[in-house]
Amino acid sequence: MKKTLKHEPIAGRTITRVIKYIVCITLAILSIMPFWIMLMNATRNTYEIQQSSISLVPSSYLLNNFKVFEGKSFNPLVGFKNSFIIAASSTLLNVYFSSLTAYALVVYHWKLRQPFFTFIMAVLMVPAQVSSIGFYQFMYRIGWTNSFLPLVLPAMAAPAVVFFMRQYLLGALSIDIVNSARIDGANEFYTFNRIVLPIMKPAIATQAIFSFVGSWNNLFMPLILLTDKKNYTMPIMVSLLRGDIYRTEFGAVYLGLSLTVLPLFIVYFALSKYIIAGVALGSMKE
C-alpha cells in the first residue's frame, strides 16, 4: 500500500475512491428502486397512489388489492403452477440430455464426433423465433397447441448447454475412471448415470438454474402456443395486466407484477452466489 502512495497524491486517491462508491451505490439503487416502488405500491390503494406514486413505506391495502383479481383472468396461482411444470420438466430434460451428448463427444472415439461437434457449434445461437411460424403450423397440425409438450421436449436439444458441458467434462473427467468402471463390468449407461453424472454436478447445477429461469421467463413461444386461459404461464399472465380492466386499479397492477417477481427474488437471493459464478464460468469459452 505504501508503495503506491508515491504514484498518486492522497487527496486524488480519496476523491476517486469517493466517486467509485457514489457510482456503484447509484447503480445499486437503480437496480432496487423500480422493484421497491412496485412492492410498496402493491400495498397501497388507488387514491394513495394518485396522491403520490412513490412511497418508501408500505400501506395497508394489500388484501383489498388481492380482491381485485377475483373472477378476472389474471390468476397468479395458475400461472405459477403452469410455469413451474414447464420450467421444471424442460430443465430436467435439458441438463440430462445435454450431459449425455457432451459425454458422447468427450469419451467415445467415433467417426462423426468432430463433424457433430462442429455442427453443434454452428447451431449454437439459432433462436426459436426464426422457426416459430413453421413450429406453430407443425404443432397446430398434430394438435399440440395448448399442450406443454412443445414447450418442454425441445429442451432435449440445447446446443449451448452441450457446449458448456463438454468444456466442463474435458477438464473434470479422467478417462481412467471410465476405464476402471468398465473393468469392473459396468455397462456404458450405468457408468454415465452413476459415475459421470455425479462428477458433473457443479456444471449441472449451474446450467439447471439458467435453464429454469430461461424457461420460466419465456414469453414468445407460450404466447404463440397457449390460447386456453387455464394453460397460461406467468409471463402471459403478466401481459394481461396491460388490459383495460386494470386501468383504474393501480394497486392491483403493482400487486400482480410483484407476485410474478417474488418467486424469482427468492430463488435469486438464495442462489446468487452460484448464479454470479455461473455467469462468469459461462464466459470462459477460450
Partner 1 sequence: MGRKKIKSVSYAKYGYIFSIPFVLAFLVFTAYPIFYTAIIGFTDLKGLGKTDFMIMDNPFQNFQQILKTPSFQKSLINTVIIWTCNFIPQLLLALLLTAWFTNQRQKIKGQGAFKVLFYMPNIITAATIAILFNVLFGYPMGPINDLFKLLGLADMPINFLINKWTARGIVSFIQFWMWYGQTMIVLIAGVLGINPTLFEAAEIDGATSRQVFFYITLPSLRTIMLFTLVTSLIGGMQMFDIPKLFLNGGPDNSTLTVSVFIFNQAFSGSYMYNRASAASMIMFLIIAVLSAILFYILRDKDAAKMKKELKKIKKAQKAAARGAGA
99-128 binders of partner 1 (CB under 8 A): 100-101, 103-105, 107-114, 116-117, 121-127
Total number of residues shown for the chain = 286
- The CB-of-57 to partner 1 minimum distance in angstroms stands at 15
- The CB-of-67 to partner 1 minimum distance in angstroms stands at 20
For partner 1, the closer of residues 68 and 150 by Cβ is 150
Burial of residue 8 (number of CB atoms within 10 Å: 0-12, 13-18, 19+): exposed
Question: Which span (12-20, 56-64, 67-75, 198-206) binds partner 1, by CB under 8 A?
Answer: 12-20
Cα–Cα distance for residue pair 250/245, rounded to 1 Å: 11
Distances (CA, A) of 199 to 80, 157, 162, 176, 186: 32, 22, 16, 13, 17
16-45 binders of partner 1 (CB under 8 A): 16-17, 20-21, 24, 27-28, 30-32, 34-35, 37-38
61-100 binders of partner 1 (CB under 8 A): 97-98, 100
Buried b (16+ CB within 10 A) or exposed e, 136-148: beebeeeebbeeb
Question: Which span (63-71, 84-92, 176-184, 200-208) binds partner 1, by CB under 8 A?
Answer: 176-184
Contact assessment for residue 225 and residue 151, using Cβ atoms and an 8 Å cutoff: yes
239-268 binders of partner 1 (CB under 8 A): 239, 241-242, 250, 253-254, 257, 260-261, 264-265, 267-268
Distances (CA, A) of 186 to 120, 134, 192: 29, 43, 10
- The CB-of-97 to partner 1 minimum distance in angstroms stands at 5
For partner 1, the closer of residues 62 and 157 by Cβ is 157
Q: Which of these, 110, 79, 117, lies nearest to 236 by C-alpha position?
A: 79
Q: Residue 257 has which C-alpha cell?
A: 407484477
Rule CB under 8 A: is residue 219 a binding residue for partner 1?
Answer: yes
